[in-house]
Structure formats: structure tokens, C-alpha cells
Amino acid sequence: MNKKFLVTGGAGFIGSAVVRHIINDTQDSVINLDKLTYAGNLESLESVENNPRYVFEKVDVCDAKALTRVFEQHQPDAVMHLAAESHVDRSIDGPAAFIETNIVGTYTLLEAARAYWNDLSDEKKLSFRFHHISTDEVYGDLEGTDDLFTETTPYSPSSPYSASKASSDHLVRAWLRTYGLPTIVTNCSNNYGPFHFPEKLIPLMILNALEGKKLPVYGNGMQIRDWLFVEDHARALYKIVTEGVVGETYNIGGHNEKANIEVVRTICGLLEELVPNKPAGLAKYEDLITYVTDRPGHDVRYAIDATKIGIELGWKPQETFESGIRKTVEWYLNNKKWWSRVLDGSYNRERLGTQ
């Protein structure tokens, strides 16, 4: 039986990958609910926007009245909650938006979902799911080189962003324990891939290098992250919301631990191969690497143990870091229209109805 998914934050980086996956690779339907903040870009969904199984609702997850209408009108079978402020640097400069969207927004959505779920038939109640998509940053950082985050690792968030996501995780689990709302939580490692907003590390390095701009690397560049190709993540999220067990937590990782400086050098190497004609006066792309003052409270190492989802649900990433990063660099080289409209703000002006 085909399902109908309410995807919050579906115009964002991970959300749009989830929407494209559901529309392109399944027979299910999507209601994409997005406030369209700066990181929400409907141009990431042009390939599916005319599909009859896709609907867009411009709604803020903090707007309880609008959420009630969406639930009543569209009658979803499951919620996939991805709407969130997610940039660590922005959370340090202005934490208020993170508290509002990630904590208050999650609470408001939980209450709207609970009211809707309470009125469902017994059969539909049993099959309904509230899937909350979170981050490995809630665990803090790892000291040992062999340690991994598991589903039972204690929370120790370091930034306003990760603290707000930790809070939302706790709310979701409380709504299961207190009210019986059938929830699932997932925590993922660093995503990368097509349609990634250019303020993030990988697209920033690609686009700066193409323009001959400096490649800013925090501290000594030895911070380690586990990199997950966004389309692998989308496949994992769909598998979890359709096959996962209520009340469970699943960690999703790419099995690709890389130091930031290694990631940047890999990008430079690919650009040497794919774009040998460099900006004037540049001998090699690596010459653009510039070390800058580290961010406050910067976590040193994240690494996910994704054993559980592999054993229990049979998921594993299809992309290695080498194949995924090549696909990513090639996508940015072939989709200048998309990222140039982000960089010059034209996607934003049209979204806001301004010139």
C-alpha cells in the first residue's frame, strides 16, 4: 500500500534528497513542508515539482494552526522531521533561531502530530510513525582514535546547534514515553553531496577553488568527521521510517572518517584532474589552503558506529568517500546555474518576492 509522508524541511539539503528519493524511487507521496529560510531552495526539487505525488506547503513548524490544517488536509501516514537550523557557526553567532526552530518547532510539530494521531483509527494509529532526524553532534566529540558513537552514547553537546538538537531528541522520546506517540530517532554523521548549501565545508572549498579564492581551514585541519553521501542517507531514512522499530534509535554513518584537511586536499586533487585550467596566476589548487582561527568549542572527532542499522535493517552505504566526493565535485561543475543563483542571492529574492 502506498504511503503519504509529511517531510518537514523538504527544501533543505537532506530533506530535498529524501523528497527526490521518495518520488523518484518509490510509489509513495510527499507533502513537503518548509518555511523556506535562507537554506531552503525549491530549485533543488525542480525534477519532481510537477509530479502528482508531490505537494509543497510553505509553513513554519512553529505555526501550530497551520500544522493542524496540513495534517487534517493531507492525512499523512508518517512524519519525517528534518526542519532545523543546522549551521554550527551561525548557532554561535545567533543561537535564538536554533532554540526557536529546533526546540520550539519540534515541540509544536509533536503536539500537532499527537492530536492528529489521537483521532486516527486503531489500524492507522498502529502504522503511523513520527521519524525525527538528528545529528551525531549531540554526542559531543570522541577522545580516542578507536572510539565510536553508538545509539547508547551519552549526550554531551558542545555548540548551541548541537544542544538544540539534543533537546529536540529528548522531546521526541518523551512524547513516546508519556503519550505513546510512535516515534523513531536517527542520528547521522556529516552529509555531503549535490545541492549542498555553499556555506558548508565541501561546497565552499569547491566553489572557492574554482574562483581562485582562499580555502579557509579551521585550526590545524585535523578535526575528523565521518562523511555520509546524502543519497545514501536518504535511502537509510526511508528504510527506517518504513521498516524501523518504534522507540528505537538508529545511527547512520558513512564509514568514511577523514580529517578536514584530507577532505580539502582530495577536492583539490579532483579539481586538478577535472579543471586543469586554473584561475590566472595559480600553480596548484592546494596553494589556496589557508589556516584560520579555530571556531569556539570545535569538536575534534566524530565517528558513527552504524552496525545496528546494518544488522537489523540491512542498510549500508552504496558510496565510498572516493566515489561520493567525485560525484559531488562533478555535480558542482555541471550545475553552475543552481549554485550561482545561491551565491548571488537571486534564488532568495524570488523566494521572498523581492527584486
Runs of H (alpha helix) within 149-200: 160-179
- Alpha carbon dihedral 28, 32, 33, 38, in 10-degree steps, equals 150
Residue owning grid cell 535564538 = 96
Runs of H (alpha helix) within 37-131: 64-74, 88-93, 96-98, 105-118, 122-127
For the stretch 207-226, what's the b/e string if a residue is b when 16 or more beta carbons lie within 10 angstroms of its beta carbon?
A: bbbbeeeebbbbeebebbbb
The one catalytic residue among 54, 139, 161, 347: 161
The one catalytic residue among 34, 85, 136, 141: 136
* Three-state DSSP class for residue 317: coil
The one catalytic residue among 28, 43, 85, 137: 137
What is the rounded CA–CA span in Å between residue 12 and residue 14? 6
Residue owning grid cell 586543469 = 276
From the CA atom positions of the chain, what is the Rg in Å?
20
Q: 84 and 14 in contact (C-beta within 8 Å)?
A: no
* Three-state DSSP class for residue 42: helix
Quick one: which of 193, 192, 174, 191 has its CA closest to 183? 174
- Alpha carbon dihedral 66, 69, 73, 76, in 10-degree steps, equals 70
Whether 57 is catalytic: no
Which amino acid makes up residue 2? N
- Orientation angle between helical segments 321-334 and 260-274, nearest 10 degrees: 50
Whether 136 is catalytic: yes
Whether 248 is catalytic: no
**Residues that are catalytic:** 136-137, 161
